[in-house]
Amino acid sequence: MDQVWTAELRTEEGKGASRRLRLTGKVPAIVYGGDQEAKSVALKSNQIERALRLNVDLYNTVLTLEGEGVSEQCVIKDLQRHPATGFISHVDFQRATDKSVIVKRVPLNFVGKETAPGVKIGGIMSFMQSNVEVTCLTKDLPTAIEVDVSQLEAGESLRLSELTVPDGVKLTALTHGNSDYDQAVVGISKVKR
C-alpha cells in the first residue's frame, strides 16, 4: 500500500524553532541516508497520528514525502513521543532507494495456532519472539513474516533457520555464522500425564 505524506522543508532549526512548530500542529522531522545530505522537514501532526492508528504495518512501509522542495521515498526509522502527553514530538526517516540496504525489525504473524496437534492434545504454545531483525534492500522490506505453526507437535519448537522469508530478505541473526544465534521462535510444551 502506497502512503503519500505531505511535508514541507524547514528553514529554522533548533529547540526553539521545533517548539514553535509543534505549537502550530506540526511535527519536526529529518530525512537522512543514501548519498544525499540530511534534510529537515515538517509534517502535520494529525496526519501522522491518523496514519499510525489506521496502519499497524506503517513502520515497515515505504512512504513518499511530497511537498514544496521535498520529494523523498523513505521508511520510519525512529519516532519520539512526549513522555506525558504521548504526542509525537519528532520523526526520523531513512531514505529508501532500490540500492539501499536496510536493517529493520519486522513482526512475526503466527498462523495455525488453534490447529497445531501439540495444542490439541493439551500442550501450551509459547512465543519466544514476536519480531525479528531483517536485512534487505528497501524495496524488498516485508511488512510482516508469516510463521505457520499448524504442524507443531508437543515438545517441538521452530527456530529462526526454519522460518520462510521472502526472496532478498535475510534474518540478521543468521548472518553471524554461529549456530548460537539460531534461536527458538515458538514452541509447544510437552503434555504432562
Q: Above 90 in pLDDT, residue 139?
A: no
* pLDDT at residue number 72: 86
**12: confidence class by pLDDT, cuts 50, 70, 90:** confident
Residues 6+ apart with CB under 8 A from 75: 59, 60, 61, 62, 63, 93, 94, 96, 102, 104, 138, 141
Instruction: State the pLDDT confidence band at 2, using cuts at 50, 70 and 90.
Output: low
For residue 146, what pLDDT is reported?
93
pLDDT score, position 102: 86
> Quick check: 147 pLDDT over 90?
yes
Whole-structure pTM value: 0.75
Residues contacting 138, CB < 8 A, separation 6+: 62, 73, 75, 96, 97, 98, 100, 101, 102
Closest by CA to 22, choosing from 85, 87, 76, is 87
* 94-98, 101-105, 151-155: least confidently modelled range: 94-98
Question: What DSSP character marks residue 152?
Answer: P
- Of 29-38, 51-60, 99-108, 177-186, give the lowest mean pLDDT range: 51-60
Query: Does the pLDDT of residue 32 top 70, yes or no?
Result: yes
pLDDT over 90 at 23, yes or no:
no
Confidence check: pLDDT of 179 > 80: no
> What's the pLDDT score for residue 60?
83
* Predicted confidence (pLDDT) at residue 175 exceeds the cutoff of 90: no
Dihedral angle sign, alpha carbons of residues 67, 141, 188, 176:
negative
Domains detected in the chain = 3-95 (2.40.240.10), 101-188 (2.170.120.20)
Mean per-residue pLDDT of the chain: 87
- Work out the average pLDDT over 168-190: 87
